[in-house]
Amino acid sequence: MDFSFTEEQEAVKDLAKQILEGTVSPDRLKEMKANGEHLDRKAWQELANANLVGIAIPEAYGGSGLGFLEACLVLEQIGRNVAPVPYYASVVLGALPIATFGTEAQKQELLPPAAAGDLILSAALIEIGAPPEQPTTVARRDGDGWRLDGQKDFVAAGLDAGQLLVSASTDDGVGVFLIDPKGPGVTIERQEATNEIPEARIVLGNAPAQPLGDIADGAEVLEWMIQHATAALCATAIGVCDKAVRLTAEYTSTRKQFDKPIASFQAVGQRAADAYIDAEAVRLTAWQAAWRLAEGLPAAAEVATAKFWAAEGGQRVVAAAQHLHGGIGVDRDYPLHRYYLWAKWIQLNLGGAAQQLRKLGSILANEPV
């Protein structure tokens, strides 16, 4: 079997790499932090101008008409550059579900400005103490519309989003709803996230909402969103882990003790080799999950496996990288520190290693012998 990317996919990867390496740098990130900026609008607009923000949106709505796998190639480069752009939120959490399940009116209204980078979308799926598949936020009918009550935490790009998808429980199951975050009944609070990019707490009190597509498909829509969001995090982890390993290889090859590069010491080489193996496991499992989702194949076990490696293996990678850097590894101004923070954010988002093992156990227990 041929597991290599097509020429078109390689072109997408190279273009994203060129844009992000040309706009996002350690000095730029320090400048943004000093100025209190959390979103690199220049990098975001350049991605949009190159049609990478709309890469998985159908051409009829201003996109490029490619797919989820191509979006994951962009996410890999975002992770490699720890680029503070709302791609995961706007493209994966917002635009893709709308393009797949939304009504024609919803697509016409939201997808063209999202593809152009003018409208940032996101989804509120996380509730503290509740699994994302079983939201405690409540949706109730109000005449021809719906009203939402509840609280969502750690909404990616929630401070900048112009429209939000919100999961909620109804009398007939679960549903996914569109809300205006600036509308009545919606309160937004800033939350500090592990990767130093602020997220939002969304408090809903009788907030008006409309279902995404057909409310009867709510459970299918929510499962689809969770799987694609989880796989997208794993794709981001590929870039985070790969760059952490490369930074470590460069440092240990130039840092000397006893007039020898520390990379020549057996203990250092073994620790670095283990980190490389973990990074490869993150890469292989993430692409397997992304490919199955892109092909419309069942992927629950593959997504859980990929997230396990992104959480468990990813943490081992960045911990080894910090350890092998010695004292400079814990310097908050040194570039490696950001990769540690991003790996921790990915680990905690949508369930860590233990939750993924429980999912895998449930899948295996329910398989017919």
Q: How far apart are the C-alpha atoms of 332 and 337, rounded to whole Å?
A: 6
Locate tokens 């003790």: which residue? 257
Confidence (pLDDT) at 191: 97
Residues of the chain with CATH 1.20.140.10: 220-366
Give the fold, CATH level 3, of 122-213: Butyryl-CoA Dehydrogenase, subunit A; domain 2 (2.40.110)
Percentage, residues of the chain above pLDDT 90 = 86
Residue 91 pLDDT exceeds 80: yes
Give the residue range(s) of CATH 1.10.540.10 domains in the chain. 7-119
Question: Minimal CA–CA distance to 76: which of 21, 3, 7?
Answer: 21
320, 326, 329, 330 alpha-carbon torsion, rounded to 10° = 110
Reported confidence tier of residue 199, pLDDT bands at 50, 70, 90? very high
Residue of 11, 96, 26 lying closest to 61 (CA atoms): 96
pLDDT, averaged across the chain: 94
Fold of 7-119: Butyryl-Coa Dehydrogenase, subunit A; domain 1 (1.10.540)
Of the candidate ranges 65-79, 91-105, 154-168, 329-343, the one whose mean pLDDT is the lowest? 329-343
CATH: 1.10.8.50, 1.20.140.10, 3.30.720.210, 3.40.50.300. Which one for 220-366?
1.20.140.10
Q: How far, rounded to the nearest angstrom, does the alpha carbon of residue 213 sit from its chain's CA centroid?
A: 23
Given this model, what pLDDT does residue 81 score?
97
pTM comes to 0.96
Question: Would you call 149 exposed, middle or buried from its count of C-beta atoms within 10 A (0-12, 13-18, 19+)?
Answer: middle
> What would the pLDDT profile of 217-228 be if each residue is shown by its tens digit?
999 999 999 999
Q: Are 39 and 86 in contact (CB under 8 A)?
A: yes
Closest CA relative to residue 71, chosen from 38, 119, 124, 114: 114
Residue range(s) in the chain whose domain bears CATH number 2.40.110.10: 122-213
Instruction: Give the pLDDT confidence score for residue 1 in this predicted structure.
Output: 47
